[in-house]
Amino acid sequence: MVDIDILLATCNGEAYIHDQLNSIIRQTFTNWRLLVRDDCSIDETPTILEEYAAQDDRIRLISDNKGRLGSVRNFEELVLRSSADLLLFSDQDDVWFPYKILVLKTALEKVPDWKRTPVIVHGDAMLADERLNVLRTTFVGSRPCKTGLATMLCSGYVQGSNMLFNRMLVERAVPFPSGIHMHDYYLALVNEAFGVRRYVSRPLMYYRLHARNQMGAVLLRGIIHKLYRKLTITNENISDVRAFHEHFGASLNAGDRKLIDDFMKMVSPDVQVLQKLHLFLAHPFFPLIHRLRYALGMIMQRIVE
């Protein structure tokens, strides 16, 4: 039986899929299975996948009649097809360092009782351009060292393509409820409330920025939009927190339940912007840096609008 299932959701990824598949095959830890589901690509991605699967029997292609599912449901389908105790998401355009799986697996197995409680172990990444020239040697830095649901509500420090998680988290969080926009963020929320998270503060992969995932802003308004997306809480975050609240609110401890309840009030469309800002700044259980980020984001929202 394989120790780890790697889940790769593809769609029109011919430009970079070779690099990612090669980086997975070159992992120093070898007892893995790669489950791939292509989401109706119209380029050469399916042909490339078939060529790799023919050369390595650890690569399994998922075929069904479900059509295009979108990123979240595509990954969900892969999770449901998985049978390993440990799982890894993979994007189609990154490049993993050879030791990535081994480092994450070693860190996870140091968590006491990891087979009986939800666990996520995640690492840092180097930001690179489309040719893998390094732009920054760190992506999230030391920020994920802070734990707690309040921190997770306000940030996306857990990078989906750079996290290893266990079967207990799958049993707790999957299938995904409707309304989920970011599968990795939703899993991180569930894990932060009910499980254990560990962070490996070293880069484990290249996170590739290119024309399809990078916004090049030149004008002042474009720059403000870019900063606004980074600094404030997005609609996608809010939607995922709402789904989390609806499914797990009754199971949370009293402190986390109050935290989520107040958060949902703060992001309610029925509350005026200045009232939201006052509420957010008034709550000490949100880290100061996130209260400042939210305040700046609200100001930028007024400028953008």
Quick one: three-class SS letters along the chain? Answer: CCCEEEEEEECCCCCCHHHHHHHHHCCCCCCEEEEEEECCCCCCHHHHHHHHHHHCCCEEECCCCCCCCHHHHHHHHHHHHCCCCEEEEECCCCEECCCHHHHHHHHHCCCCCCCCCCEEEEEEEEEECCCCCEEECCCCCCHHHCCCHHHHHCCCCCCHHHEEEEHHHHHHHCCCCCCCCCHHHHHHHHHHHHCEEEEEEEEEEEEECCCCCCCCCCCHHHHHHHHHHHHCCCHHHHHHHHHHHHHHHHHCCHHHHHHHHHHHHHCCCCCCHHHHHHHHHHCCCCCHHHHHHHHHHHHHHHHHC
> Cα separation of 84 and 111, whole Å?
18
Same domain, 17 and 82: yes
Residues 44 and 125 in one domain: yes
* β partners of residue 166: 86
Amino acid 228: pLDDT: 42
Question: What is the pLDDT confidence band of residue 20, given thresholds at 50, 70 and 90?
Answer: very high
Which structural domain, as residue segments, surrounds residue 48? 4-208
* Residue 214 belongs to a domain: no
Kindly tell me if the per-residue pLDDT of 8 is higher than 90: yes
Q: What is the pLDDT of residues 27-53, one digit of tens each?
A: 999 999 999 999 999 999 999 999 999
* 286 pLDDT above the threshold of 90: no
Share of the chain above pLDDT 70, in %: 79
CATH number, domain at 200?
3.90.550.10
* Residue appearing with tokens 């266990």: 166
Q: Which of 208, 240, 257 is the last residue of a domain?
A: 208
The reply to whether 20 and 135 lie within a common domain is yes
The whole-number average pLDDT for the span 74-102 is 97
Give me the mean pLDDT over the 271-291 stretch: 62
Write down which residue in 187, 208, 229 finishes a domain. 208
Identify which of 2, 66, 12, 13 has the alpha carbon closest to the alpha carbon of residue 35.
Answer: 2
Residue 294 has pLDDT above 70, yes or no: no
Q: Strands 134-136 and 119-128: what pairing?
A: antiparallel
Q: What is the pLDDT of residue 299?
A: 59
Condensed to tens digits (0 to 9), the pLDDT of residues 101-160 reads 999 999 999 999 999 999 999 999 999 988 999 998 998 877 667 778 887 886 778 999
Residue 221: predicted pLDDT: 44
Question: Between these two residues, 133 and 295, which has the higher pLDDT value?
Answer: 133
Kindly report the pTM of this predicted structure.
0.85
Looking at the structure, do residues 165 and 56 belong to the same domain, yes or no? yes
One domain for residues 45 and 115 = yes
Count of domains for the chain:
2
Q: Both 161 and 283 in a single domain?
A: no
Let me know whether 113 and 249 are in one domain. Answer: no
Mean pLDDT of the chain: 85
The Cα–Cα gap between 149 and 159 comes to 16
Q: Is residue 215 part of a domain?
A: no
Residue 270 lies in a domain: yes
Please tell me the predicted confidence (pLDDT) of residue 217.
32
pLDDT at position 216 is: 35
Residue 81 lies in a domain: yes
Q: What is the Cα–Cα distance from 60 to 175, expressed in whole angstroms?
A: 21
Residues 11 and 149 in one domain: yes
The per-residue pLDDT for range 174-215, each reduced to its tens digit, is: 999 988 999 999 999 999 999 999 999 999 999 998 765 533
Whether residues 106 and 154 share a domain: the answer is yes
| Confidence band for 3, pLDDT divided at 50, 70 and 90 | very high
Cα 132 to the chain's mean position, in Å? Answer: 21
Minimum mean pLDDT among 22-31, 47-56, 266-275, 289-298: which range?
Answer: 289-298
Residue that is last in its domain, among 174, 208, 242: 208
* Mean pLDDT to the nearest integer, 226-237: 54
